[in-house]
Amino acid sequence: MSLYPLKFKPIYKERLWGGSKLKDVLNKDAEGDLIGESWELSAVKGDVSEVANGALKGKRLTDLIRIYKEKLLGKKVYEHFGEDFPVLIKFIDAQKDLSIQLHPNDELAKKRHDSFGKTEMWYIMQADEGAELIVGFNKDVEKSEYVDHLENNKLEEILNYEKVREGDTFFINTGKVHAIGAGIMLAEIQQTSDITYRVYDWNRKDKDGNTRELHTELALDAIDYDKKDDFKVNYTGEKNKVNSMVECPYFTTNYLNIDGNLTRNISDRDSFTIYMCVEGEAKIANENGEEKLKKGETLLLAADSKEVNIEAVSAKLLEVHI
């Protein structure tokens, strides 16, 4: 069977810090009042995406990979990752501040958890007035200084805060302490990993009166203690062109601002391609079919796609491939 443009059923996650924007703004059909995440494309064990459209409806992403292999993933991707889908795609709504956390690199994650590390990027889709992210430290910090601030409830004094607005984009490499602040809705692209070291959670408790687990000791050898200004992504927004955002070993992301029509030959990409619609509505087609993509929806094109055509009156898309 030909691999037409594939949509998947979102996997919703209730979170202590979640809200209602995924339902109210992105029209997600999630139940519950604290929906923090919509996993759009996932092969994480226990949370595998299912096809939502066409003849393959109901098939799991892992089933498709097992059947179609490099035809779906691309030869280079399949040779490197085998049947492990290498990225996890999400929309996130933070009604409250997320915990301060970080992710280990590949080496540490493999050694401790038999997992990939977690490099990620964020595209801000909406932000309330004054909303902020925490990204890194505001100065170079010694490990002992970090521990002192953590133990004495002063960690905020050495953290770097960034006010954000729609369109701002951040690259979060492994080891960097970070947190999504209250009032922010964003698109997240990351390595396939659910390994997070939580170091501070604002001393809050869940509905049962319990505090969440912290990973204080695990985090000590995983943190990058240096102040770095390597997280803000600068990109152009030219219409009907491919605007480069992030290129790293784990994913490449482009920004597409479509007002009209964009047709591209992608036959030499040797990778699947993902489109996340972050504004407007577009029609995306390859030689095997077409699908409409609305704000808050995600689409997967197989690696054997020869050409992609994107048509829109006004749409903003994130394009992801390996």
Asked if 198 is an active-site residue, the reply is yes
Phi, psi of 80 (to 5 degrees): -85, -40
DSSP structural state of residue 111: H
pLDDT per residue as tens digits for the range 260-286: 999 999 999 999 999 999 999 999 999
User: Tokens for 58?
Assistant: 């109901």
Instruction: Reply yes or no on domain 11-220 having CATH 3.40.1280.10.
Output: no
Strand partners, 307: 265
The mean of the pLDDT values for the chain is 96
Closest residue by Cα to residue 212 from 71, 41, 17: 17
Feature table: binding site: 103, 120, 178
**What is the pTM assigned to this prediction?**
0.96
For residue 169, give every residue at least 6 positions away whose Cβ sits within 8 Å of its Cβ, in sequence order, or none: 121, 122, 123, 124, 232, 233, 235, 245, 246
Pairing of strands 184-191, 87-94: antiparallel
For 171-190, how does the pLDDT look when each residue is reduced to its tens digit (9 = 90+)? Answer: 999 999 999 999 999 999 99
Q: Tell me: the pLDDT tens digits for 81-93?
A: 999 999 999 999 9
Model confidence at 25, pLDDT cuts 50, 70, 90, reads very high
Superfamily for domain range 242-321: Jelly Rolls (2.60.120.10)
11-220 and 242-321: same fold?
A: yes
Give the residue numbers of the binding site for Zn(2+).
Answer: 103, 120, 178
Q: What is the pLDDT of residues 142-167, one digit of tens each?
A: 999 999 999 999 999 999 999 999 99
For CA atoms 224, 228, 230, 232, the dihedral sign is positive
Where do the DSSP E strands lie in the chain? Answer: 11-19, 35-41, 43-44, 47-48, 87-94, 100-102, 120-127, 132-137, 159-163, 169-172, 178-180, 184-191, 197-200, 242-247, 252-265, 273-286, 289-294, 298-301, 307-321
User: Each residue of 225-266: pLDDT tens digit?
Assistant: 999 999 999 999 999 999 999 999 999 999 999 999 999 999
Question: In which element (H, E) is residue 233 found?
Answer: none
pLDDT of the residue at 207: 77
- Catalytic-labelled residue, pool 66, 198, 264, 269: 198
133 touches 184 (CB < 8 A): yes
Terminal-to-terminal C-alpha distance of the chain: 24
Could you tell me the residue ranges of all domains in the chain?
11-220, 242-321
